Amino acid sequence: MYCIKCGVKLEDTEKKCPLCGTVVYHPELTRAPAEPLYPAQKMPQYGSEKRAVSGILLLLFLIPMLLSCVSDLQPDGKLDWFGYVAGGLTVTYVIVFLPLWFQKPNPVVFLGIDFAAVALFLAYIDWQTQGGWFWGFGLPVTLGVAAVICTMVALLHYLRRGKLFVYGGAIMGFGVLVLIIEWLLSRTFQIPFVGWSFYPMVVVCLLGGCLIYLAIHRSAREALQRKLFF
């Protein structure tokens, strides 16, 4: 047996190195139980409290669902307007309360889920009322808004820099979206295309352009910061 620190040869009975004083470890010898280095009990789980609140909110959410279902029940056992109430309540629940179930909800994932819920609800209304506007208008508008907002939130979430570029681009994206919405309105509902959407589009594109200009030119950004005290 040798000392682990200085390498000197040790007798089997030695508890300490005679040269450097390093304690010799004898695994075959039993030792008195010492104070453990970590607490025997687990640390309290803060997530469980949040779960309990989420559970109570789910119960509170199910009460209006059940009440409206019972009050809508027709004598022939069919439901009249309950589907709209249930859909609206579910979309609200998905947007407001669903992220509470998770410890660190990813905003990008939850926005995707939110827009999917809205699109499904619109599809249901269109199907129930035989509106015929979902595929031509409801879905493309939902997808367009979802694309701009999800891209913006994803870039803000994952990029550390360049926030002004992202805001500028998102504002311009909304400008283009307004134009697309006017075109879809004219196509789906046979409303004549007069081009009102060009005005908001020009305004927001100028605004977005200003933000991108500020993002590129550091001196302009600093001058504006000094002027506006932010």
Contact residues for Zn ion, defined by CB under 5 A: 3, 5-6, 8, 17, 19-20, 22
**Shortest separation between residue 1's beta carbon and Zn ion, angstroms:** 11
16/187 with CB nearer Zn ion: 16
Between CA 181 and CA 188 the distance in angstroms is 10
23/60 with CB nearer Zn ion: 23
8/224 with CB nearer Zn ion: 8
User: Phi/psi zone of residue 29: left (φ > 0), alpha (ψ -120 to 50 degrees), beta?
Assistant: beta
**Shortest separation between residue 17's beta carbon and Zn ion, angstroms:** 3
**Shortest separation between residue 37's beta carbon and Zn ion, angstroms:** 26
**Shortest separation between residue 44's beta carbon and Zn ion, angstroms:** 45
22/90 with CB nearer Zn ion: 22
**Shortest separation between residue 19's beta carbon and Zn ion, angstroms:** 4
Number of Cβ within a 10 Å radius of residue 138: 20
Between CA 147 and CA 164 the distance in angstroms is 18
14/72 with CB nearer Zn ion: 14
Beta bridge partners of 16: 23
Between CA 194 and CA 44 the distance in angstroms is 63
User: Phi/psi zone of residue 16: left (φ > 0), alpha (ψ -120 to 50 degrees), beta?
Assistant: beta
Note the helical H segments in the chain: 47-72, 82-96, 107-129, 139-158, 163-189, 198-216, 218-228
* DSSP state string for 19-35: TT-PBPP-TTS------
Question: Angle at CA 209, nearest 5°, toward 205 and 211?
Answer: 120
- Dihedral of alpha carbons 99, 103, 107, 111, sign: negative
**Shortest separation between residue 34's beta carbon and Zn ion, angstroms:** 24
5/217 with CB nearer Zn ion: 5
Q: Which two tokens stand for residue 175?
A: 């400008």
